Structure 1
Amino acid sequence: MSICVLEQDRARCGRALRRRPAMKILIIARPYAFHGGVESATAGLMRALVAHGHDVHRAGPGRQQAQPGVTEHPLPMPPLPSPARAVALALLAAPVARRGGWDVVQSHERTLVQDVYRAGEGAHRAYLEAMASRGGRRVHHAVTLALERRVFARTPQIVAISRRSADDIARHYAVPPPRLSVVYNGVDLERFHPALRARHRDAARADADVPATAYAMLFAGSGFERKGLSTAIRALAHLGDGGARLLVLGRGDAAPYRRLAGELGVAGRVVWLGARPDIERWYAAADVLVLPTRYEPFGNVHLEALASGLPVVTSSVAGGAEVVDDRCGAVVASDDAAGFAAALEKLRGRNATELRDAARAAAEPLTFARQVQALEEVYRRLGRNRCFFLTKQHRRHRLPGWVFARPCSLTATGR
């Protein structure tokens, strides 16, 4: 195929997107839930895409709770160890993506065929840097890095979920600015709202045996080591207030952290909630979110807490720190327990209503509708340049013919 023909196709793709904003979009993603975390972000995004009039499809492993307007393409994933699951997902998703008729193929996983890769987990190489002293799982890391290299080299458009994550991707994989965008996640401003404080606070505290007057810090997240739970426990021990509580919500091996709390004399002040679907109750119960994460492209808990009117104290390596300032929280080095304690003490002394209003104001611009609008701009840019990009990649990487042939599907007859 000549460059001339490719340029004509590229122009046709761009015209088609401008002429017809509604698109047939395939999203490759693991099964999502409607509560908390990465899966909640996917659910909210897909709802918003449907609300914008797009024809949305999901391909992924496992059974998925039905969502109006989303067509499911389940992938038959056999029970496999983690590294093999990643490879199997990439191989199983490829035929669905190749099938054609899609205006945009957007993957939230490290797969083989996509127009847009949403790098929700950031760059795995950056994660390994951050967790350098915590080895293990070598096969998993090797497989993840191999898939990641391919994704960043061969995908026309990369979407990072924070500026910090975009910097990591550019630094490790030399993805140039025309192919790299930053699109923050959205947050459900109705589900997470300061008004829930009056409805849930007293009952949630009673359930957790937290005194009504206690200063309650919420740590929310699974993967306690990466999220910095040890720093949160040490910060609790640094606080002058012996009545303060740390509520720990999420999945993980709690045993070493229970021992640490015991050694520091705060075991009776740490409340272990486990993983729960009703996270909004615990935002209502708490006075502040504390997240001393060691690596975090952009934890959704930052936005959920702010939307709930909860100030946030997080680490400087968190993507969520980009929406936190001294009006609604604080940013501290991830391993600085004394710094976290000082920030918490300072926030405690401030006017609670002003903090709550500032937190809510920080979250309000970050809606799912705004996220979709930003992604639609990525899709328009994709229509203008992906054919030219794939010509270069075909020469450089000797891509198979189907990769070279299929991308220019953004035509008026592409559906």
Structure 2
Amino acid sequence: MPAQLRTPGPSDNVCKQELRIFRAHASRPRIAIIRQKFRLDGGGERIVQLMREILAKQGHDVTLIAREWQGGDSTEKILRCNPARWTRVQRESRFAHQALLLARQHRFDLVQSHERIPGCSLYRAGDGVHRCWLEQRERQLGPVSRQLLRCSRFHRYMLQAEREMFEHPNLRAVICNSGMVRNEIANHFRIDAEKLFLIHNGVDTARFHPRLKSMRESIRQQLLLPSEAPVFLMVGSGWERKGLTQTLHALASVPAAHLVVVGRDKAAGKYRRLIARLGLTARVRLAGVQADVAPYYGAADALVLPALYDPFPNSILEAMAAGLPVLTSPKCGAIDFIQNDENGFVCDPFDQETLIEALRQLTDFNLSARLGAHARVTVEPFTPDFLESQLTRLYSHLLAS
């Protein structure tokens, strides 16, 4: 049986003094935002920070409930929720239980979660649907590994928590960052479609702009890349999900192209060995995490991200705003924006023949420039101001009802 959420115990008590501090703000709508780990360089965390700023601008009292965070540490705005855990199931279940208990004890008017927590009132489905991710992951596993995945206590817990959350009577709204995610939720769970709000992420079109091409030569020199070679870029961490393995195998059949990977993965050594085995050492650069990824868009000719599963990565919006065509997959939320041979390509990562052909086409500088120009036009309306207006309307609706 899937693991169950534990019942409250003595360790769940919250000190009375801390409660008084929070209740002093009772004259304003009080909103809790739940996120296990909060660091300002993460894509999901940037959305959390934007939401905090939007709500504060409206005069609401916003509190972050987190296990770990980087940035501000004001006790008036952050509640630390770090219950003991020894397993992945305990990490998820105990945080979910304790975070929701804290939210109830502080009597927030709205509890917004970015984790799968049954009982929250607003959920942002930034991680998509766990069930759909597992279905995609199984496609690259053998029979034994597939069975082990299905028997995993952690994944069984996540599937249970996901279903309980989406079907919980307390859930009033779900923010979906792509049509793909919205459809997956509607198809797999008993939930009123009126609770599903499609709100795409925004992108800073002034910062991510085709003029980043001025950084092309300096970044290529830094990475020891030929100035005239086609260069593909992949941005993000968790390379299995991003489709790096499939990209490397396809790249081996496109000898003119180079690949730069910005991000991290715990199994980076495995990918270095694969790069060497495929004879790609001279053509692939693992650039690590970068404080500023914008110049790397300027150095590239296309963004390649044939994800096994990705709700909608910010890197795709950033690349398109910078004037790059995008190669992605049918299981990436970016299919809301990408049209074949218009502003990029959509390829199944397990269809190597189609993936290789798309990469070959993107080595044509004239074609990639044309697709990139159309990509820029596609995302120009999706500014942070537009995102703010959509979120403001949603919050106003939820707090007024």
Distance verdict in 2 for CA 1:46–1:358, change over 3 Å: farther
> In structure 2, what is the equivalent of residue 312 of structure 1?
326
Change over 3 Å in CA distance of 1:45–1:348 after alignment to 2: farther
1:71 corresponds to which residue?
Answer: 77
Which structure 2 residues correspond to residues 278-293 of structure 1 after superposition, within 5 A?
Answer: 278-293=292-307
Aligned residue identity for 2:53: R
1:179 corresponds, among 191, 195, 199, to 195
TM-score normalized by structure 1?
0.79
Residue in 1 that maps onto 2:280: 266
> Aligned pair in 2 of structure 1 residues 194, 171: CA closer, same or farther (>3 Å)?
same
**2:111 maps to which residue?**
105
Matches of 2:250 and 2:289, distance apart in 1: 22
> Once the 2 structures are TM-superposed, how far is the Cα of residue 94 of structure 1 from its aligned partner?
1.3
Pick from 193, 196, 211 the counterpart of residue 195 of structure 1. Answer: 211
Work out whether residues 38 and 68 of structure 2, in 8 Å CA contact, stay in contact via their aligned partners in 1.
no
Classify 1:23/1:360 alpha carbon distance in 2 versus 1 (closer, same or farther; 3 Å).
farther
Asked whether the 8 Å contact 2:361–2:367 carries over to 1, the reply is: no
2:188 alignment partner AA: H
Bigger relative contact order (CA 8 A; separation at least 6): 1
Query: Secondary structure at 1:50's aligned position in 2?
Result: helix
Which residue number corresponds to residue 345 of structure 2?
330
2:273 equivalent to 1:250:
no
Within 5 Å, give how 1:113-262 maps onto structure 2: 113-132=119-138, 133=141, 135=146, 136=148, 138-154=152-168, 155-198=171-214, 200-239=215-254, 242-252=255-265, 253-262=267-276
- Seq. identity, %: 34
In structure 2, C-alpha distance between the alignment counterparts of 1:77 and 1:206, rounded to whole Å: 47
Give me the whole-angstrom Cα distance separating, in 1, the residues matched to 2:310 and 2:160: 21
2:94 aligned with 1:81: no
- 1: CA distance, partners of 2:326 / 2:316: 7
Contact 1:187 / 1:367 at 8 angstroms: preserved in 2? yes
Residues 296-318 of structure 1, C-alpha deviation per residue, up to 9 Å, x if partnerless?
A: 11122111211222211111111
Q: 1:67 to 1:377 in 2, by over 3 A?
A: farther
State the AA in 2 paired with 1:166.
R
In the aligned structure 2, how far is the partner of 1:51 from the partner of 1:358?
34
Q: Which residue type is aligned with residue 313 of structure 1? A: L
* Shift in Å, 1:54: 4.0
Secondary structure, counterpart of 2:112 in structure 1: strand
State the 4+ residue runs in structure 1 displaced beyond 6 angstroms: none
8 A Cα contact 1:317 1:334, kept in partner: no
How far has the Cα of 1:282 moved from its partner? 1.7
Q: Compute the displacement of 1:380 (Å).
A: 4.8
What CA distance in whole angstroms lies between the structure 2 residues aligned with 1:115 and 1:146?
18
Per-residue CA distance 1:25-48 (angstroms, 9 max, x = gap): 321113333335322332333334
What is the CA–CA distance in structure 1 between the aligned matches of 2:42 and 2:216, rounded to whole Å? 19
Match of residue 3 from structure 1 = none
- Rounded Cα–Cα distance in structure 2 between residues aligned with 1:262 and 1:64: 36
Against the structure 1 CA distance between its residues 346 and 23, is the aligned structure 2 distance closer, same or farther, given a 3 Å change threshold? Answer: farther
Partner of 1:343: 358
Aligned to 2:291: 277
**Letter of the 1:158 counterpart:** V
Tell me, in whole angstroms, the C-alpha distance in 1 between the residues paired with 2:258 and 2:240.
20
Alignment-mate amino acid for residue 210 of structure 2: P
Q: Aligned AA for 1:194?
A: P
| Structure-1 separation of matches of 2:211 and 2:174 | 37
- What SS does the corresponding residue of 1:217 show, helix, strand or coil? strand
Provide closer, same or farther for how the CA distance between residues 44 and 357 of structure 1 changes in structure 2, counting only shifts above 3 A.
farther
Question: Hey, what's the Cα distance between the residues in 2 that align with 1:194 and 1:74?
Answer: 41
1:32 to 20, 38, 42: 38
Cα distance in structure 2, aligned partners of 1:262 and 1:272: 13
Q: What's the CA shift for 1:234?
A: 2.0
What is the alpha-carbon distance in structure 2 between the residues aligned to residue 362 and residue 232 of structure 1?
A: 25
Aligned mates of 1:189, 1:95 — CA distance in 2: 40
Does the aligned pair in 2 maintain the 1:196–1:281 contact within 8 Å? yes
8 A Cα contact 1:97 1:113, kept in partner: no
Give secondary structure in 2 for the equivalent of 1:247: strand
Offset, 1:153: 1.0
- Tell me how far apart the structure 2 counterparts of residues 281 and 92 of structure 1 sit (CA, whole Å): 41
Q: Which residue of 1 aligns with 2:17?
A: none
Distance between the aligned counterparts of 1:353 and 1:332, measured in 2? Answer: 20
Letter in 1 for 2:360: E
Pick which of 139-148 and 43-52 moved more.
43-52
Q: Determine the C-alpha separation between the residues in 2 that align with 1:369 and 1:97.
A: 29
Question: Is 1:362 aligned with 2:378?
Answer: yes
Cα offset, 1:290, TM superposition? 0.3
Q: Which residue of 2 aligns with 1:375?
A: 391
Within the candidate set 68, 78, 81, 1:62 is matched to 68
Q: Is the 8 A contact 2:117 2:161 kept in 1?
A: yes
Paired amino acid for 1:258: R
Tell me, yes or no, if the aligned pair for 2:36 and 2:95 is still in contact at 8 Å: no
Letter in 1 for 2:226: P
Letter in 1 for 2:102: V
**2:78 alignment partner, SS class:** strand
| Contact 1:29/1:107, CA 8 A, preserved across alignment | yes
